[in-house]
Structure 1
Amino acid sequence: MDVIVSHVNLDFDGLASLLAAKKLYPSAKVALSAKQHPTVKSYLAIYRDQLAFTSYEGINWGHVTTLILVDVASLKRTGIPTNDLSTGLKTIIYDHHTPKENDVRDGERYVEQVGATITLLMERLVKEKVAITPFEATLFGLGLYTDTGNFTYKQTTSRDLFIASILKEREMDVTLINRFSEQALTTEERKLFQTLLTNSEEIVDSGITLLITTHEQPTYQNGLATLTRRLMESTDSDAALSIVKMKDRVYVVARSSSNRIDFRPLMNELGGGGHAQAASATMKKQELANVLNKVKHVLKQIIKPAVTASEMMAKPVKSVSPYDSINNVLEQMYQYGHTGFPVLDEDGLLVGVISRRDVDKATHHGLGHAPVKAYMSTQIVTLEPSSSLEEIQTTMMKHNIGRIPIVSKQNMLGIVSRTDVIEQLHRESGPVTDLSVVSKMQAQLPPAIYNLLHEIGEIADTHGINVYLIGGIVRDFLLNRPNEDIDLVVEGDGITFSNAIAEQLGGQVKTHEQFGTATWTTPANIKLDIVTCRTEYYDAPAALPTVRPSNIREDLRRRDFTINALALQINKSEFGTLLDFFQGQEDMNKKKIRILHTLSFIEDPTRIVRAVRFALRFDYELADQTQELALNASFLLNQVSATRFLREIQLLIKEKTILRGVKLLDSLNVWHSLFKTKPTFESLMKLEQVLAHNFNDAFIVILTLNFEQSSWKKKVKRYSLTTKQNQIIQQIEAMETVPISRNDPMSSIHNCFHLFREESILLYALLTQNGLLLSYVKKREQLKPLLTGQDLLDQGIKPGPIFSDLLHQLTSLQLDNEIVNRKEALTWLQAIKKE
C-alpha cells in the first residue's frame, strides 16, 4: 500500500501538495493529520468531501510499502506512528525546506529551494501533462500564495511565479484565495492575540526591532503562526517571536520582514526548522522561562550586522567650490549625470549642497556667472559613517532628499544616494559571496593566478581600499569560457596601489600617469593591468571621452554592454562578491546584448560593431531597444576615425564571423550609412572567396563590399591607411584599364601583369571573378625558375637590362608550356646567345 502524508499543523502548501501528489500517484491513499492550521480547518469544513482524504487512524501503517512525504522531509514532523512502519519501507520526498539533520536521506528525494512545495509537484504535473480542474488549480494557488507571502518572501523564485501563471490559465480563483489566506480571527484567537500583545517586549539591536512575547495556558490552541505575523505587522516591528506553553509543550514561532534576520540558527538550537524569515519549533517537557533564556542567548546570532554608510557610500566624492560659477556647476552636472553636488571650502570642509533645481533657477534668471555660495543650501542633512541602512532610508524619507553626505567632524568621507540604497536592498536579496563564481574562478584560473588574486586582496585590505576583477573575464567565468586577460580596478590610486604590491611581492611596475593606470609584471613574468576607478563623459558624439577618477559603480557604468559591466571583489573578506548593478546576468540568461544607457551608441558609435561581435561570439541577440538605438545611431559612424572603425572590423574578422557580421551590420544600416550601398549577394560571395584566400584585412573587406560601385576608389580611400593599402588601390585601378581576352595566352597576360604584386593580381582576379587571371596567378605562384642570373653569366652574357628581359621571356615561355625543364631552357638560352 502507498500512502501520502504531510506535516502536523497542516498549512495550505501541505494540503495542496497532498492533492497534487495524489494526482501523480493515483493508487496511493492520502492520510490527513488531525492538527491543521485554523484557515485550513475552515477550508476543509467546506471542501472535505471533494478531497476524500482519510485520517491517520484509517491507515494500517504496518502494511505501507511506499510512503510519500510532501512539504516535509522528517518522519518525526509527520506525526505518524513510526514504530508501526515496516523495515523495508520505500520513501519518496517532495520538499522545499532547508535540509535538516533528522530528514529522511534514503529513497527518492525531490528537495529544491523554491517558494513552495506545490511548485515542485506542479512542475511534474505539467511535464506529465496531467489535467487540472479549476478547483484543484485554486487549492494549488492557495498553497503557493500563502507559502510565498503573495510572492513577497525571500525564498520566492521565478519558478513559483511561472507556476502561478499556469494555474491562472487553469482558472485558479484568486478571489477565493484571498478569502481563505486572510481569514478573520476567531474570538479565541483575538483573545490570545491581545494577551500576546500585552506580554510583548521590544528589543532594538543594530537598527532592528524585534518583538518577543510569552504566554502560558493549559489548553492547546492552533493558529500561533498567524497571530505572530499579525503581531509583527500591527506593531510595525521587523520581526516577532512568540513563545507559548500549551499543555506540556512550548511552541516557538518566528516571523520576520527583514532580510537582516535569519531564524534558522535559533530553530536549529531548539530542534525546529523552517525558513530564514518564517520558522518554528516545538519543545516537550520544557519550562517557559528556560526556553525564553535559550532564545535570548541565541538572539545575537539571528541578527545580521547592519550595513553601514561607510560600506555603501560612493567615494571619492565629486564636489564643487563655493566660488565656482553656476555655469561651471551646470557643465559638471552634464558631464557626470549628477543632479547635485556637495560644496566644500578650501579646507575640504562641507559648507553646503547645491541641487539641479538651484542651478536651473539661477540660470533662468541669467545668473550663470554667479558663485555657488549665493545659491547653495546651508541646511545640510548629514549622517555618520556608522549610520545603518535603515537610518539612511528613514532620513531620506523624512527630509525627502535623494543623497546624504557622510561626514566625520565636517570632513566629507563619501555620499549615499537613493541609487546606492536601492542597489543595497537588491544585493541583500541574494548571497553576498557567490560561491559558485568562486569555484568557477578556481577551476578556470591557473593556481598561481588564483592564489595571486588572494594575495592582492589581502594587500588591498591592509591599505583600506577595494579592488575588483572587471570586464570580460568576469563574464567568461559565469559562462564557463576560458579567459586569462586579468584587469584589476581599485577605488583609489591605481598607480600607488601597484607600487605597494610590487614592494611587497616583487616585480616591476610600468606606470601611465595620464590615465592613472599601471602594468605590474610579477617575478614570475605575469602581467596584470591595474586601473583607477574612473568615469567618463563625451563632449560631442563620436568624440574620445574625457576621463575622471571615480568609484566602482561609475566605472562599470561607462562599459559598453551589461554583460561586460560586471565586477568581482577580491578583498579577503569579500572574495568572490559579484557586483552586477545593471542586470548583466539576467541578460546572459536571456541571451541578449543590451547597452547600459540610451546615449551609448551616440557617444561611441563603434559600439554598434562591438554589439554585433559579441552577439555572434555568444550566439546572442540584440535587445529590441538596443537594436533600435543602433539603427538610429549608425549615421554617426561617418564621424568615427577610420582607424577606430577598422580596428573594430578587424576584431570581427578575428572572431571568424565576418560574413555573418557583415549581414548583421547591414541590418543595422551600417553599410548604407557609410557607403550609400548595401552588400549584395554577389559581393558577399566575393568576400567569402577573398577571405578563403587569407585576405584577413579589414580594409580588404571594405574594398570587396564596395568594388561593384563605380566610385569604389573614392569610397574606400578614407580607409586606406598604409602604404601597402594605397598600393593595392593604385594597382587595382591600373589593372582595370588592362584588356584581357579569354583566348589570350598566359605569356600575353604575363606581359601585361608582371609588374604588379601577386597579392594585388589575386585580389583583382577575385573581385572581377576573372577565371583566366586566377589561373595565371596560380600558375605564376607555382612556377619554378629554370635559370638564374648565374646561368646567364656562365653563358658569357654581360650583366645589364638584358638579364631581366631574358628571364621575363623565359617565364613567358614556361607559362605557355613551350619550355618545361632546365635542359630546354639552356638550349633556348644558347640559341638566343647565337642570335
Structure 2
Amino acid sequence: MDVITTHINADFDCLGGMIAAKKLYPDAAMVFAGAQERSLREFFMQSACYAYEFKRIKDIDLEDITRLILVDVCQAERIGPFGEVAKRPGVEVHIYDHHPNKPHALRGTVEEVRSVGSTVTVLTHIFMERGIHPNADEATMMLLGLYEDTSKLLSHATSSADYQAAAYLVEHGGNLNTVSDFLVQELTSDQVALLHELLQSLTAINVNSIDVHVAHASVDDFVGDLAVLAHKIKDMHALNALFVAVRMGDRIFMVGRSRLPEVSAGEILEEFGGGGHAFASSATVKDLTLVQVLDKLPVVLRRHVNPHWEARHIMFSPVKSVQKADTIAQVREILTRYNINAMPVLDGDRVVGIITRQVVEKAAHHLLEDIPVSEYMSSDFSSVTPDTALQTLQELIVGRHQRFVPVVEDDGQLVGALTRTDLLHHLVSGAVARRRQGIGDPGNGLTLKKRTVAHLLRNQLRDSLQKTLSTIGAVGDALGRSVFVVGGFVRDLLLRQENFDVDIVVEGDGIAFAEEYARRYDCRVRAHKKFATAVLIFADGFKVDVASARTEYYLEPGALPTVENASIKLDLYRRDFTINTLAIALNGPHFGELLDYFGGQNDLRGKAIRVLHNLSFVEDPTRMFRAIRFEQRLGFQMGRHTVHLLKSAVRMGFLDKISGPRVFNELVLIFRESDPLPAMRRLDELGLLAFIHPTLSVRHLSDGTFAAAKQAVDWYELLYTGERCQRWKVFFLCLLSDLDHGEVQQIVQRLAMPPQCEEFFGSERDAATRILNQIEWRSMQSYRWRDSDIHALLKDLPVEALLYGMAITEHEEARRTISHFITHLRHVKCLLRGHDLQSLGLAPGPIYREIFDALLDVRLDGQVVTREDELQFVTNRYVEKIEEKPSR
C-alpha cells in the first residue's frame, strides 16, 4: 500500500505538494499525519478539495504500508505515527522537499530535495520535465502552496524556479483570485486605513429579494491587494455578494465577490470593462468618476441579478386544513393545537375558502362554536400554482392584502401554502436560503460550497457510514420520498465531533422505508408501529433510527405528546433547541444540502442554547434538564430569554407534572457525561435539584468529591477487567452522600426508580456506607489487614459502591484497601471444584461451602498457591478428620 503524507500542522505547501504527488502516485492514499493550520482547515470547509478523497489515519492499517511518500518533510519526528513506518525495514521511502541539509533527516530510495521557495516548486518542475499536466483545481491548490511559502514570490528564498513554476501553474488554470482570497497576510497601514473607510461606507442594495453589498472609498495613492480587503469585508460580515469600488488617483478599481449563483460577479463587472469568474471578478475604470460608477452599479445589478423565485421555492407543505362542514369549535381546537393563524377550508379536495384565528375567536366569543365554518370563512381569495412568480405573490400578498395563499396544482389539488410571514422571511433572507433546485455552478476552478456540507460528510465520516447515508438517499429516490439525517448527528458534524447516533427522518412512511431498505441491503428491521419508527440493524451491530416526519402537540403541560405525520420543517420545529433542528438532505440531487429553518447554525457559532418557542418548557419540562446537559457538554450557554423561560417554568411548578421515570432518565443521562459536576451546579443554581428533594444540593459538596469519583471511574475503566461499570451510579451516590436513609428513600420514590436501582440506592448504599466506616476506623487504628479480611468485608458490594467509597473517603489507607481489593482480590477463585472434593471421599452437602470459604481465605492470604497445595490443605483439615471419626 502506498501512502502520501506530510508534516503535522500542515499548511498550503503541504496540501499542494500532496495533490501534486498524487499525480505521480495515482494509487496512493493521501493522509495528513496530524493537524492542519487554521487557514488550511477553513479552505477545506469552503472548497471542493474533498473530491480528492483524503483519508484519516484511523482508516489506514499502518502495517499494510509498503511505500511512504513524504512531502515537505524529511524528518521522522515531524510525521506523527508515520515516523515508525518510515524506519520499518522493507518500507520504501520517497522524499520531495525544499529544505536541504536538515539534521537527522530520513534517507529515501527516491529523494527530490531542491533549494527553492516551496515543495510545490520541486514537484512542478518534475511535471514540466515529464510532461505532466495538472487540471485547474490541482493547479490552483499547488499555486496556493507556492504563493504561501514564498510570501507571494517576494520572500528572500524565492528563486527563478519558483517564478517558472508559478507561470506553469497559471498556464494550466491556476486561479490567482482564489489564491488571493485564501492566503492570510498582514495589512499595511495604508490597507488598514482603506479597510476602515470601506467598512464605514458599506451598504446593502436589495435586488429582486437578494441583498448585494457595496463599499466604496477614495484615496490619492495606489494601495495594493484590494481583493484581500474585499475578502476580509466579505468574511467579517458573512456577505454573500459584495462589490468594492475605490478611486486611486485617476482610476476606479473594482472588485466583485459572490457566493450566489444568482449574482455573477464576472458578468456584472464586464459592463465596467472588466471580468472574471462568476464568483470573483475585477475591473479598472478610466473614463468614469467614482460617483458615476456608484450610480451605474445598481442599474447593472438590476439587469443581472434575477433569481427567478417561484411559489414552490418558499411555500410550506403539507398544509393543515379543515372541511367546510367542520364546526367553529373544531377549527378553533386545530388552530390552537398547531399554533397557526389561518387554514384553507376544503370541499373534498378543493379549496373553497380561508378561515383565520381572528374570525374563529370572534365567532366563539359570540357563542357560535357549533356553526359550520363555511358560514364564516372567506371565499374571496386567490390561489396560485407552484410555478407562480415571486412578483405575482408580492402583488397578491402586499398589494391585495391576502395574508394566506393556497398553492394548488392545475387540477385544483392543494399542495402547499404560503403566508405573509413566509414572504417577509424570504425577502429578508431568501438570497441566503437558496432554492433546493437549480443551484448553479459558480464557475471554473475551485467551487465554493457554502450551502452544503457534503464535504464534511466525506471528510469526517468513516467510509462505511458514508456509504450507508448514500444508500439511504438512493432508496429515498427510488421510493420518491425525501430523506434527511437530523438532530444531534448534524449538530456534532458541524462541531467536528464524532456522533454515531444516526437519526433518519422520511417524509412519508418511515417503517415502509426501513423495510424497503432492508430488502435491498444486508440488515434487519425492528419496527415500532405505535410510534411510526423503526431501527435498521446492520450485520456489525451498527444501528440507524428511522422515523416518519411528524409533528406533535401536548394536551396538557408535562404530558407525553400526541404525534401526527408532517413535513420535515414541522418535524424539526417539534425539537427541543435550535441547535438540534438542523437536517441534511440525503436524496441524490440534494445530497449534503443543509436545512436550517430556525437559526441553528447561528446558535452553533454563538455557542447558545435556545428553545424554539415560549411554551417549550411548559409543554415538556424535561427539556430543562436537556438544556443544562447540552450547555455543559458543549461548553455553550443558555440564551437569556431561554433562562428566563426555564426559571418561570420552575417557579410555576411545571416540573411537578412530569413523571418520576422521565426525570430519572434525564438525571442518568447527565450523570453519564464525562464530568457531571458543572451540570449539577447548574441544576442547583436554577432550582431543579430542590424540585427532586428540598434538601438536595451540591453547594455542600467540594469539587474534590466529584473529581475523585471521576478519577476512580476512569481508573477502573483503564483496568479492562471485562466487568462493566455504570459510572452514572457512582456520581449519583456522590450527590446523595450527605443525605440520610429516609431522605434517599423519598428521592427513590419521587423518581419511581426501577426495583434494581431502588435496592442499589437503598440497602446496598447503606451497606457500603457502613463498611466504609469500618475500613476508615480500622485504618485509623493501624489495623493489620489480612487479604481474607478485606475480601470478606467487600465481596458483596457492587463495583459502583466500591468506587463510590474510594471517591468519598478522606483516608488514603482506606482508599488503598478498596483499590487493592478491586485489582488483586475481587476475582480470586479456588482451583478445586466439587468433583475434586468428591474424589477425596467427601459427600456433597453444606460442608462444601465451608471448605471452599476456608480454601479461598488461605489462598487470599498466600498460604496455598498451586492446585496441589489446595488438595493438601483439604486433605489435612477435612479428610483426615472425617476418617478419624468412629464408624457406627
1:428 is paired with a residue whose SS is coil
Cα pair 1:471 1:564 within 8 Å, conserved: yes
1:466 paired residue number:
482
- Once residues 811 and 789 of structure 1 are traced to their aligned partners in structure 2, the CA distance between those partners, rounded to angstroms, is 14
The 5 Å alignment of 1:368-383 reads: 368-383=369-384
Distance 2:874 2:540 in 1: 60
Q: Residue 625 of structure 2: which of 599, 605, 609 is its match? A: 609
Name which of 323, 326, 332 aligns with 1:324. Answer: 326
Conserved in 2, the CA contact under 8 Å of 1:683 and 1:704? no
Matched, 1:516 2:546: no
Which range is displaced more, 683-692 or 482-491? 683-692
Cα separation, 2, equivalents of 1:407 and 1:89 = 61
**Is 1:145 the counterpart of 2:204 in the alignment?**
no
Once residues 499 and 776 of structure 1 are traced to their aligned partners in structure 2, the CA distance between those partners, rounded to angstroms, is 51
User: How far apart, in 2, do the equivalents of 1:337 and 1:673 lie?
Assistant: 30
CA distance in 2, matches of 1:732, 1:224: 80
Contact preservation (8 Å) 1:342, 1:353: yes
Secondary structure of 1:352's aligned partner: strand
Letter in 2 for 1:392: L
Q: Which letter does structure 2 place at the counterpart of 1:435?
A: K
The superposition leaves residues 492-551 of structure 1 with CA deviations (integer Å, 9 ceiling, x where unpaired) of 343455566667778766544433344556899976544322111122222211111111
Partner of 1:333: 335
Partners of 1:658 and 1:830 lie apart in 2 by 56
Quote the offset at 1:355 in angstroms. Answer: 0.6
Measure how far apart 1:457 and its partner are. 4.4
SS in 2 for 1:404: strand
**Shift, 1:633, TM fit:** 3.5
Q: Which of 609, 632, 641 matches 2:659?
A: 641
Q: CA RMSD in A?
A: 5.3
The 3-state SS of whatever aligns with 2:484 is: strand
Amino acid across the alignment from 1:652: I
In 1, Cα distance between equivalents of 2:303 and 2:587: 24
Deviates more, 1:470-479 or 1:269-278: 269-278
Amino acid at match of 1:656: S
What CA deviation, in whole Å up to 9, does each residue of 1:213-259 have, x standing for no partner? Answer: xxxxxxxxx9999xxxxxxxxxxxxxxxxxxxxxxxxxx999x9x99
Question: For the Cα contact (< 8 Å) 2:177–2:280, is it kept in 1?
Answer: no
Question: Measured at CA, do residues 307 and 783 of structure 1 come closer, stay the same or move farther in structure 2, by a change above 3 Å?
Answer: same
Residues of 2 paired with 1:750 and 1:659: CA distance? 31
**Deviation of residue 357 (structure 1)?**
0.4
> In the alignment, what sits opposite 1:769?
809
Task: Tell me the TM-score normalized by structure 2.
Answer: 0.59
Query: How far apart, CA to CA, are the structure 1 residues paired with 2:570 and 2:266?
Result: 37
Q: How many residues are paired up?
A: 629
Kept in 1, the 8 Å contact 2:655–2:691? The answer is yes
Judge conservation of contact 2:795–2:826 (CA < 8 Å) in 1: no
Alpha-carbon separation, structure 1, partners of 2:688 and 2:401: 46
Query: TM-score, normalised on structure 1?
Result: 0.62
Q: Which of 679, 704, 723 pairs up with 2:698? A: 679
Letter in 2 for 1:583: G
**Residue 671 of structure 2 contacts residue 731 of structure 2 at CA under 8 Å; is this kept in 1?**
no
Any residues of structure 2 matched to 1:231-270 within 5 Å, and which? 260=262, 262=264, 264-265=266-267, 268=270
Against the structure 1 CA distance between its residues 466 and 827, is the aligned structure 2 distance closer, same or farther, given a 3 Å change threshold?
Answer: closer
Q: Is the 8 A contact 1:320 1:343 kept in 2?
A: yes
Select 1:435's aligned residue among 449, 472, 480.
Answer: 449
Instruction: Provide the rounded CA distance (Å) in 2 between the counterparts of 1:736 and 1:447.
Output: 50
Take 1:572 and 1:807, find their aligned partners in 2: how far apart are those partners?
67
Structure 1 residues 525 and 388, CA, compared in 2 at 3 Å: closer, same or farther?
farther
Q: 1:557 aligns with which of 573, 587, 596?
A: 573
**Distance change in 2, residues 1:689/1:720 (3 Å):** farther
Cα distance in 2, alignment partners of residues 796 and 399 from structure 1: 105
Aligned to 1:360: 361
User: Aligned residue for 2:646?
Assistant: 630
Separation (CA, whole Å) in 2 of partners of 1:106 and 1:435? 17
Whether the aligned pair in 2 keeps the contact of 1:521 and 1:528 (CA below 8 Å) is: yes
Partner of 1:666: 684
3-state SS in 2 of match to 1:369: coil
The answer for the alignment partner of 1:716 in structure 2 is 748
Q: Secondary structure of the residue that 1:515 maps to in structure 2?
A: coil
**Secondary structure of the residue that 2:406 maps to in structure 1?**
strand
SS state at 1:514 partner: coil
Q: Is the 8 A contact 1:519 1:530 kept in 2?
A: yes
Larger Rg: 1
Shift of 1:336: 0.9
Structure 2 match to 1:479: 495
CA 1:464/1:791 → structure 2, altered by over 3 Å: closer, same or farther?
closer
The answer as to whether partners of 2:733 and 2:804 remain within 8 angstroms in 1 is no
- 2:763 corresponds to which of 704, 716, 730: 730
Shift of 1:124: 5.4
Q: Which piece of structure 1 moves more, 263-272 or 642-651? A: 263-272
Partners in 1 of 2:363 and 2:500 — Cα distance?
52
CA distance in 1, matches of 2:337, 2:791: 63
CA contact (8 A) 1:343 1:354 kept: yes
Match of 2:550 among 523, 534, 537: 534
Report if aligned partners of 1:646, 1:699 keep a CA contact under 8 Å in 2: no
1:595 partner letter: V
- Cα 1:468–1:819 shift into 2, 3 Å: closer
Deviations 1:280-324 (A, max 9, x none): 98999xxxxxxxxxxxxx999946452221233222211112222
1:490 aligns with 2:506: yes
Q: CA separation in 2, counterparts of 1:507 and 1:783?
A: 42
Equivalent-residue separation in structure 2 for 1:798 and 1:707 (angstroms): 48
Q: Does the 8 Å contact 2:527/2:534 carry over to 1?
A: yes
Displacement of 1:581 in angstroms is: 1.5
- SS in structure 2 opposite 1:405? strand
Q: Residue 82 of structure 1 corresponds to which residue in structure 2?
A: none
Provide closer, same or farther for how the CA distance between residues 680 and 653 of structure 1 changes in structure 2, counting only shifts above 3 A. same
Residue 262 of structure 1 deviates from its aligned partner by: 3.9
Residues 671 and 732 in structure 2, CA contact (< 8 A), matched pair in contact too? no
CA distance in 1, matches of 2:489, 2:880: 71
Amino acid corresponding to residue 551 of structure 1 in structure 2: S
Classify 1:268/1:575 alpha carbon distance in 2 versus 1 (closer, same or farther; 3 Å): farther
Unaligned runs of 5+ in 1: 1-87, 92-100, 115-119, 165-180, 182-221, 226-251, 285-297
Give how far 1:154 is off: 4.0
Aligned to 1:97: none
One-letter amino acid matched to 2:321: S
**Shift, 1:556, TM fit:** 1.2
Post-superposition offset of 1:377: 1.5
Please state how far the C-alpha of 1:387 moved relative to its aligned partner: 0.9
3-state SS, counterpart of residue 350 of structure 1: strand
Same amino acid, percent of matched pairs: 30
Of 666, 670, 674, 1:652 maps to 670
Mapped to 1, the partners of 2:326 and 2:755 lie a distance apart of 48
Are the aligned partners of 2:729 and 2:800 in contact in 1 as well (CA < 8 Å)?
Answer: no
Cα 1:699–1:494 shift into 2, 3 Å: same
The AA in structure 2 aligned to 1:730 is S
Contact 2:624 2:646 in 1 (8 A): yes
Query: How far did residue 466 of structure 1 move?
Result: 3.1
Q: Distance in 1 between matches of 2:521 and 2:818?
A: 62
Secondary structure of the residue aligned to 1:617 is: helix
Cα gap change, 1:143/1:745 in structure 2, threshold over 3 Å: closer, same or farther? Answer: closer
Equivalences for 1:775-794 in 2 at 5 Å?
Answer: 775=817, 778-779=820-821, 781=826, 785=830
Equivalent pair of 1:467/1:571 in contact (CA under 8 Å): yes
- The amino acid that maps onto 1:701 is F
Is residue 768–residue 802 contact of structure 2 (8 Å, CA) maintained in 1? no
Give deviations 1:574-603, integer Å, cap 9, x for gaps.
333221112211122222222222322232
The residue number in structure 2 matching 1:405 is: 406
Secondary structure class of the residue paired with 1:665 = helix
Q: Is the 8 Å Cα contact of residues 851 and 874 (structure 2) preserved in structure 1?
A: no
Q: What's the offset of the Cα at 1:331?
A: 1.8
Residue 199 of structure 2 contacts residue 233 of structure 2 at CA under 8 Å; is this kept in 1? no
Q: Which amino acid aligns with 2:682?
A: L
Match of 1:389 in 2: 390
Deviation at 1:360, TM superposition (A): 0.8
Deviation at 1:698, TM superposition (A): 3.6
